[in-house]
């Protein structure tokens, strides 16, 4: 059983929405767990995500059918469709290896955004310190999905650097970036690209089509007393069913779960809860006696029944 801190989510009552108002600066307080933030917009405009351009740019559609392009506030993910400048990412060497590593990181950030945003309804809100629109007339906005601030999640998991601007949440985002860089999460592994098996360590989708689309590592309250609020969500992104019978899921400390007889149909999702319950087609239960996933970072590894690594992701 792993040591845990008590996760506390503080939601401030603040103004947000179409008028361009969002929460005031959350003060840059102590960093929350990766993927969370100290405050969320109280009100957001609901939109559908129709396309993911890359890790920090998406296309959306409003309920009235109007479409727009959103550039995520406060973050900059490595480029996928253009050259990267390693000098923009502190500690990454200005070498071919550094550039290659950043491109891999950019692909990972893009896939991460597709897994969590594409085809879903999310909330958006602008920042009071910034113009509503930036370069190329893109809307500058925060994105809220699954009660998490996606912009912050990109930074805290090492998939983006903080974009230097006057946005109101710069303090907490910078703290999150420092934590990710010190822990060498995500793109910050590129500071030593020759030693980092980056692509393997951060793969989100296996050749079979199985994808890890969400990690909820920080349960409400004491993690050890709320085991079913700690979970992983897998999806089948392929065209054929994925037979998971005998496949295992492990953490960095080799705690292991084995799927029983089970097949995941194309387009379907299954949630693996850490605690106990009755297995269904969409829910599986680890049956662990204590929390498995470290709030401060861990590695999820999925292996086939034959022991081959199907996918692995560090967070």
Q: How far apart are CA 124 and CA 192, in angstroms?
A: 36
DSSP state letters, 88-103: GSTT--SSHHHHHHHH
Task: Give the residue, 22 or 284, on which the prediction is more confident.
Answer: 284
With pLDDT > 90 as the criterion, what percentage of the chain qualifies?
A: 55
What is the mean pLDDT of the segment spanning 40-65? 94
pLDDT in tens, 163-218: 989 999 999 999 999 998 998 888 998 887 554 444 444 456 667 789 888 889 99
Query: Which of 98-102, 122-126, 284-288 is predicted least confidently?
Result: 98-102
DSSP state letters, 17-54: STTS--PPP-TT-S--STT--S---SS-EEEEEEEEEE
pLDDT value, residue 170 = 92
Task: Give the residue, 18 or 202, on which the prediction is more confident.
Answer: 202
pLDDT classification of 238: cutoffs 50, 70, 90? confident
From residue 105, alpha-carbon distances to 78, 94, 286 in Å are: 6, 15, 31
Contact predicate 278/285, CB 8 Å: yes
pTM: 0.59
Helix (H) or strand (E) run with residue 153 in it: helix 150-156
From residue 73, alpha-carbon distances to 7, 35, 176, 299 in Å are: 25, 15, 15, 28
Contact predicate 51/69, CB 8 Å: no
Q: How far apart are CA 216 and CA 224, in angstroms?
A: 14
244: three-class secondary structure by DSSP: coil
From residue 261, alpha-carbon distances to 27, 285, 305 in Å are: 49, 13, 11
Residues 6+ apart with CB under 8 A from 50: 59, 60, 61, 67, 119
pLDDT in tens, 287-307: 999 999 998 888 899 999 988
Residue 187: DSSP 8-state? G
Residue 228: DSSP 8-state? G
Query: Which of 19-33, 34-48, 262-276 is predicted least confidently?
Result: 19-33
Residues annotated as catalytic are 71, 79, 138
């Amino acid at each position: 059983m792993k040591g845990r801190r008590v996760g506390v989510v503080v939601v401030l009552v603040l103004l947000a929405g179409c008028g361009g108002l969002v929460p005031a600066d959350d003060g840059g307080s102590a960093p929350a767990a990766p993927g969370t933030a100290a405050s969320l917009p109280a009100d957001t405009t609901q939109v559908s995500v129709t396309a993911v351009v890359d890790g920090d740019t998406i296309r959306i559609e409003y309920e009235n059918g109007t479409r727009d392009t959103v550039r995520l506030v406060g973050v900059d993910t490595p480029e996928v469709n253009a050259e990267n400048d390693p000098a923009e990412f502190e500690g990454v060497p200005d070498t071919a290896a550094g550039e290659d590593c950043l491109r891999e990181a950019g692909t990972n950030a893009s896939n991460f955004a597709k897994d969590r945003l594409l085809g879903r309804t999310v909330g958006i809100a602008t920042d009071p310190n910034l113009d509503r629109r930036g370069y190329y007339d893109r809307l500058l906005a925060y994105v809220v999905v699954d009660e998490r601030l996606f912009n912050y999640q990109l930074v805290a998991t090492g998939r983006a650097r903080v974009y230097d601007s006057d946005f109101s949440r710069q303090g907490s985002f910078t703290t999150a970036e420092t934590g990710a860089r010190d822990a060498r999460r995500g793109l910050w592994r590129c500071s030593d690209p020759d030693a980092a098996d980056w692509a393997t360590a951060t793969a989100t989708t296996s050749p079979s089509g199985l994808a890890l689309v969400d990690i909820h590592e920080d349960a409400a309250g004491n993690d050890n007393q709320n085991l079913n609020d700690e979970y992983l969500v897998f999806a089948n992104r392929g065209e054929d069913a994925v037979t998971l019978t005998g496949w295992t899921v492990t953490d960095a400390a080799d705690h292991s779960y084995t799927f029983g007889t089970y097949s995941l149909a194309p387009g379907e999702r299954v949630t693996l809860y850490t605690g106990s319950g009755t297995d269904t087609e969409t829910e599986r239960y680890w049956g662990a006696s204590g929390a498995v996933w470290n709030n401060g970072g861990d590695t999820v590894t999925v292996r086939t029944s034959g022991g081959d690594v199907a996918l692995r992701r560090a967070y």
